[in-house]
Amino acid sequence: MSDSATATDDRPGTEVAAPPTTPRGARRRRRAGYVTALFFLLVVLLLGAVVVLIGQGSIAIPIGEVLRILTGQGADSEINQTIVMDARLPKVVAGLLAGSALAVGGVQMQTLFRNPLADPFVLGVSSGAILGASIVILGTSGVGWLAGLGVVSQLGVTGAAVAGAGAVLLIALGIARRVGDPIVVLVVGVMLGYLAGAFVDMLVYYTDPDRLAALTTFTRGSVRNVTWNELEVIAVSCAVVLGLSVYLAQPLNALLLGEKYASSLGVNVRRIHFLSLASVAVLSGIITAYCGAIGFVGLAAPHLARGLLRTADHRLVLPASALIGAVIVLVAELIAGGNGLTSTSLPLNSVTAVVGAPVILWVLLSGRARRQVR
Amino acid sequence: MSDTTVLAAVDVSAGYRKRRRPATTVLSEVNLSARAGELITLIGPNGAGKSTLLRTLVGAQPPLGGQVLLDGTDITTLSPRRRARRLAVTLTEPVDVGLMSVEAVVTLGRLPYRSWLGRENDHDRLAVDRALADAGVEDLRDRMLSDLSDGERQRVMVARALAQEPAVLVLDEPTAFLDVARRIELAAMLTRLTVTTNAAIVLSTHDLGFALRRADQVWLVGNDSTVTAAAPEDLAYSGAITETFAGTNMSFDDAAATIVVADDAVPGATVHVTGDGRQRQWAEHAVRRAGWAPAGDGCRHVLSVEPGTPCRWRLDGTGVPDATRAEGVGFDSLVGHLRGCATAVPEALDARLS
């Protein structure tokens, strides 16, 4: 991930010319030190989660062995090598990308909607993606799940998911601009999600049961069935869009002041809206197409990032959220069933909700949602 | 102060263009020019088109006709970024940025100068420091914007605009939510800014006293879709301000430089007030409040006021009925007494005269 690099690049005031003797210089240095330490800690946490998650499973692999395989020094046994590279690494990379993508999508949505409760899952964007994908999966004749499809149909499903996500985003944003009250928008989003879900249910009801298995992973969220081929699609598109969000960071900061102020600062508001909406649609559409709807990460990660960094500056919040989102998904996967302690595994959503729902409650009850009403 | 015109409107007509409908012209034939270092106040009654004019002048909406020139260049041909380097605005709408320090908000003003990676260079930091100092918010630098009072927040938004190093600073009703002391502070600050930054400052306000006392130039948006630009004294002296603002029963008070309600004085209830400066001033205030009119020397009633807190007063005069003669302490009793005899006096006078 390029996150660690971004982290060091974006520390505010690292090259301050002010001598360290002045209180302001000292304060800036302390602040820069804190931010660097925080990013360092997040990277360590993420790497730790990656290694632990790879090591644990129905066949436990020692940490040292995992590190040797990952760093390309060769494994003690061929089996371990295969398990790590073909079975566990794709899952871990998928989880990492999913967490980052959803968190970055969440940050952008919260700024775009001027609503601290916005998130791809909560506002029904993921459900829109599922609906889009379902229409293609269930509508096309032939086989079921993505594994059985050629690359073209795979892209077709992905494209449909992105389109579905984009459609819900547009509807939700249209309503949000008219209503303004974050809590009403939240309810609207939840309803849009239900609506999309209902359409999916109807589709399912009238369809051949053979193809239905394909849909069950969708609604619950899982990173376990992702293959290397699919990962290529996810990784490339996520890399492009996460890169784009580096470009969007500063205009999004200006948008925190409101659209009029942003345009007075020379920001092309329409273009930023479009680019940001497109990024969110692509990120949440693709992640939903391959990993299903993973809830609450996009909501919780940005709030945790802002709280830890004590700033809303997107240049710091975006990379920090990406790291936190990745950590959340990996830890959730660890708890949900990657640990081999249980024979059955939980859907990811059951775990992420444990983190996410309290964050929503905290935002609602602490009155932050009310304060941000336009 | 130099004489260079930084912002000019040439034959501008401003208004709204609605889809598939003829444009609504709110203002026409507007010719204005703002020179560097000038403080300009934009005044006008509600609905006359102040906001429309401001939006047109800052390039937020295109003029229906004519040209708005920023540094001699048509503002509609400038890219948003180039425009933002020469022209900054503060708006009336409240800002809620969440967790952001004052310094971070002010630093946003450097956005028009940054590349997309947005690294701050030494000049950026210098401009932010200067903006914070000029707006007098240096000591708030590390506070969170959401923790500040309205007055402080307004000044931070001015600092943010100054960080753009603009040649023209446009403020939309900056005094709207401020109490008297904050207003005066802001006015003094803006006057200082014209000197320190040499920017032309254009601000819209409803505060006539402020508009006339501080401005180098007043742009008066009239009820007849015209804009008159002149020195404040010219507009006040010519009666243009009275004509635009005064409703029925109102007049322009030259001393207070504001519109006042003409008092419903009872006919014949006039009184000559004697006393020193402030006592006399407030005694006349009390007289007006009671429905009487202060008048010159030849008046039948004479009110003398002596210093003290509260003031002693005595109402006397030649040929005045005994019931009217009185004395007391404090303006409350004066107003009460004057109101009591206001209805009785004229009749008594009429009776004696006839």
Non-local CB neighbours of B10 within 8 Å, separated by 6+ positions: B31, B66, B67, B68, B69
Which stretch of DSSP H or E encloses residue B96? none
pLDDT at site A252: 92
In this predicted structure, the answer to whether residue A9 has a pLDDT above a threshold of 70 is no
In this structure, the answer to whether residues B139 and B177 fall within a common structural domain is yes
pLDDT digits (tens, 9 = 90+) for A98-119: 999 999 999 999 998 888 888 8
Domain locations in chain A as residue ranges:
93-371
**Spatial contact of A222 and A347, defined as CB atoms under 8 Å apart:** yes
CATH superfamily membership of A93-371: ABC transporter involved in vitamin B12 uptake, BtuC (1.10.3470.10)
A260 touches chain B (CB under 8 A): yes
B97 touches chain A (CB under 8 A): yes
Spell out which residues of chain A touch residue B84, defining contact as CB-CB under 8 Å.
264-266
- Quick check: helix, strand or coil at residue A112? helix
- Quick check: helix, strand or coil at residue B219? strand
pLDDT at site B180: 84
In this structure, the answer to whether residues B287 and B144 fall within a common structural domain is no
Non-local CB neighbours of B237 within 8 Å, separated by 6+ positions: none
In this predicted structure, the answer to whether residue A290 has a pLDDT above a threshold of 70 is yes
**Spatial contact of A270 and A326, defined as CB atoms under 8 Å apart:** no
pLDDT digits (tens, 9 = 90+) for B36-53: 999 999 998 888 888 889
A264: nearest CB among B88, B100, B104: B88
- Residue keyed to tokens 């007494």: B337
Cα–Cα dist B62/A183, whole Å: 36
Backbone φ and ψ of B226, nearest 5°: -120, 160
Closest chain A residue to B80 measured between Cα atoms? A266
In this structure, the answer to whether residues B241 and B287 fall within a common structural domain is no
In this structure, the answer to whether residues B249 and B291 fall within a common structural domain is no
Cα–Cα dist B99/A104, whole Å: 18
- Quick check: helix, strand or coil at residue A256? coil
In this structure, the answer to whether residues B193 and B278 fall within a common structural domain is no
Backbone φ and ψ of A91, nearest 5°: -60, -45
A311 touches chain B (CB under 8 A): yes
Give the number of domains in chain B. 2
Model confidence at A221, pLDDT cuts 50, 70, 90, reads: low
In this predicted structure, the answer to whether residue A340 has a pLDDT above a threshold of 60 is no
Secondary-structure breakdown of chain A: helix, strand, coil percentages, each rounded to the nearest 5: 75, 0, 25
Write the CA distances from B28 to B19, B53, B125, B226, integer angstroms: 21, 10, 42, 6
A312: nearest CB among B97, B114, B141: B97
In this predicted structure, the answer to whether residue B351 has a pLDDT above a threshold of 70 is no
In this structure, the answer to whether residues B331 and B206 fall within a common structural domain is no
What is the span of the domain harbouring residue B165? 5-253
Residue after which a domain boundary falls, among B222, B253, B284: B253
In this structure, the answer to whether residues B100 and B178 fall within a common structural domain is yes
Q: Spell out a b/e string for B243-260, using b for 16 or more CB atoms within 10 Å of the CB, else e.
A: ebbbeeeeebeeeebbbe
Spell out which residues of chain B touch residue A311, defining contact as CB-CB under 8 Å.
99-101, 104
Q: Spell out a b/e string for A56-65, using b for 16 or more CB atoms within 10 Å of the CB, else e.
A: bbeeebeeeb
In this structure, the answer to whether residues B194 and B326 fall within a common structural domain is no
Chain A nearest C-alpha distance from B126 (Å): 11
Q: Which residues pair with B217 in a beta bridge?
A: B40
pTM: 0.80
In this structure, the answer to whether residues B274 and B247 fall within a common structural domain is no
Non-local CB neighbours of A347 within 8 Å, separated by 6+ positions: A220, A221, A222, A336
In this structure, the answer to whether residues B152 and B120 fall within a common structural domain is yes
A250–B118 CB contact, under 8 Å = yes
A27–B97 CB contact, under 8 Å = no
Chain A nearest C-alpha distance from B62 (Å): 14
pLDDT at site B290: 82
Q: What is the largest CA-CA distance in chain A?
A: 74
pLDDT digits (tens, 9 = 90+) for A230-248: 888 888 988 898 889 888 9
In this structure, the answer to whether residues B49 and B190 fall within a common structural domain is yes
pLDDT at site B83: 93
Q: Which CATH number goes with the domain that contains B75?
A: 3.40.50.300
More confident residue, B247 or A198: A198
Q: Residue B260: inside a domain, yes or no?
A: no
- Residue keyed to tokens 């936190």: A324
Cα–Cα dist A65/A56, whole Å: 12
B91: nearest CB among A13, A261, A267: A261
Q: Residue B258: inside a domain, yes or no?
A: no
Q: Which of A310-314, B24-28, B264-268, B341-345 has the lowest mean pLDDT?
A: B341-345
Pairing label, strands B168-172, B87-90: parallel
In this structure, the answer to whether residues B296 and B170 fall within a common structural domain is no
